[in-house]
Structure 1
Amino acid sequence: MEFVKPGNHVLYVWISKVQSGLEKAVNEIRHLKDVVVSVENSDRLEDSTYTNSTFDVILSHCSSESTTNEKLKLFLNLVKPQRPVVFMFLKSEPATLETFEFQLKAAGYVNVKKNASHVFVAEKPNYEVGSSVKLSFAVKKPTAAVWKLEDDDEDEEVINEDDLLDESDKQKPDEASLRVCGTTGKRKACKDCSCGLAEELNGQQKNTADAPKSSCGSCYLGDAFRCASCPYLGMPAFKPGEKIQISSDQLMST
């Protein structure tokens, strides 16, 4: 047998249609040095307990009934990677040979060759059945290096977060100070004032603008110097230029 080498573990598969010469063929293989031969019937091979990649060579008699896809896959599991499976067809079935090469390739065999008029030799690929590999369909674009600070880098000086604030920063500010401009120190409302300072300042300006003016210039001296229609009638004397708040009732009564 040209396909069997010394030290090989060989699986010899026979079919019911081929029984004559079976014992002779098996004995010829066993006479080779350190060769171990396991003989199995094709119909009972599915019931065997062989593990994957057990055999160095598989020699199988074939017929149209025995070359099913399930049987071809079983042979592929049992033989070692890159090792041959030899299919020996009956000479009375040449029609099977016409499509068998395509059937072998579809089942996963490689290096399929027709060795004789009724013999095909095929190999198991250089990987186990069911193995997988990650495919990369796109070239990854290089990413820019990003500066990172490692937690265990003892050479880097890190600011203590507790030192970022002192006690004055933690004190709650006075409400009145929040309503004073931080640059000029004057009470000045910002453009989008929402604290009420703008309304307060506008009210003061209105009161100042609406304050009645004295026509005689002596109202501040007291009632003795005021006329009957004086808006300050009944009010105590005040200093010249001093701002006096007059209630709306007083203005209406005058």
Structure 2
Amino acid sequence: MSITAIPSQAVNRLKNGTILVLWGSGSSPDDVQRFSQELSSYQCNRVIVEHFERLILSGHSNSVFDVVLSNLIEPHMATHSFELLSEIVRIMKTSGVFCGKEKSDSRISSNLKLAGFCNITAEPSDNSFCAETPSFEVGSSSRLSFAKPAVWSLSDALVDDQVELINEDDLLDENDLKKPDAETLRVCGTTGKRKACKDCSCGLAEELASDEPVKPTTKSATSSCGSCYLGDAFRCASCPYLGMPAFKPGEKIQLSERQLNPDL
């Protein structure tokens, strides 16, 4: 394997950088050693060689490597899984360079994007690719320009005795404690709402028009058959006493305006 096979994007970052070389099955140890020795000629600060299957188990710290060269040693038998790419982006520094070869044509570009890489270039003719890590640390956060600071907050150092509370009795005055007049709370007898209905007969329409309480009028009904007092069994279909209990003959019964004008 010749050092000239290293992509130019990575060559520019080798000097004084920490480099990780990943190799897979099929590559001879002699080729791996020769490749790492050639890298040292670029005045790298440190070169670490790791097998694909051991990378995740190695437990490298976050943001360690400037350049990662993966599967560049023949016969290029390794495949970059999404799990492997996620581990690589974690251990790389910001704006780091990641170059390699894939075993065969696959979804390497899509997996690189999903793992968090950017500025991805892929060459289908030889299954090679290069990508960069973002210019910010993985897991970092930043305040948005339109984010507004909190209007007020209480310090964690304050104790209950230092916090001035509002007396809830001061929030009410004498008018709030007065019991409202029942006449002012009247609602329509038909709709149950404060607004009078179209054919209002309970007096609510007149009350709202005059802004003064109006008591519903009542009328005294007179029986034409003389048997209304006996109960519903002796009353006609239009009897104003229909539905009312029996009463004594001559007893005065007061009916409301609504009862005297039933909806037919």
TM bucket normalised to smaller = 0.3 to 0.5
TM-score by length of 2: 0.46
The higher radius of gyration belongs to 1
